[in-house]
Amino acid sequence: MDNHFFVLAIVMLIAGAFGGIVNFYLLGRTDERPNAWMRPVVLGIGASFLVPVVLDVLSIKLVIESAEDPSKLLIFTSICLIAAILSRYLSGSVGDRVAEEASRASMRVDELLVELRNLQEEIAPLIETETETELAGQVAAGEEVNPSDLDVTCNKVLKTLASGRFIFRSLSGLCEDSSADEATVRQTLAVLITKGLAGRSRGPKGERWFVTERGRRVLETLQ
């Protein structure tokens, strides 16, 4: 009987190791580390040595019967091999779930960062408009824009940008209110942005333009 248990231990060890090697090649791993095969082999051996426990729980006397019937030993070997091969589903499913959750979390973080960046761009003009400067109406030399440097179109678009009931203006709305074509308004907005009189924000609804605090000061001098 002692020899039989020794034979069963050898059978479970070999079946588990062979099942682990089968898993290693079935999974098609690209891991080039020298010990990459050890994990599936260890899992296979562990699953193989659990077979007697499962058989005992199910009240199957295959372990004892295999001592007298070689065909039972062959069946026991097959069960150990199957258990070793199936061990990859347990480890694979857990690993896949962890990897999937990590991927989802990473994607969600990226989405939140984009939303936060867009939100910062959207509320920046609101904060600038509602915040009182320390020296209201005064700017450092060389920073103020001379209203005479602006042409008629720039003045008109700047007034339109600040006179609407919306802080963020769309290009079509500016074209309609200023009675100018899209190319002219877009070119004028680029000039105003360069001079720091207007700003541009890109949100969920697309590009929007707004007047900056410097632009409001220039408008005050025009009135």
How far from each other are the two terminal CA atoms of the chain, in whole angstroms? Answer: 108
- pLDDT at position 29, please? 58
* β-pair partners for 202: 207
Q: Which residue has the tokens 């074509």?
A: 181
Query: Considering the entire predicted model, what is its pTM?
Result: 0.40
- pLDDT at position 105, please? 86
Distance CA 216, CA 218 (A): 5
- pLDDT at position 137, please? 44
Among the listed residues 177, 203, 193, 198, the one whose alpha carbon sits nearest the alpha carbon of residue 129? 198
Regions of the chain short of the pLDDT cut 50: 132-142
Largest CA distance in the chain: 109
- pLDDT at position 13, please? 92
CATH of domain 145-222: 1.10.10.10
Q: What residues contact 131, with CB distance under 8 A and at least 6 apart?
A: none
- pLDDT at position 141, please? 41
Q: What residues contact 175, with CB distance under 8 A and at least 6 apart?
A: 181, 182, 185
Per residue in 181-220, pLDDT tens?
Answer: 888 888 888 888 888 888 887 766 778 888 887 888 887 7
Tell me the two tokens of residue 34.
């020298």
Could you tell me if 84 and 20 are in contact, meaning their C-beta atoms sit under 8 angstroms apart? yes
- Map out the domains of the chain as residue ranges: 2-109, 145-222
**Cα separation values, 169 from 164, 185, 196, 202, 203, Å:** 8, 12, 16, 11, 12
- pLDDT at position 129, please? 54
- pLDDT at position 132, please? 45
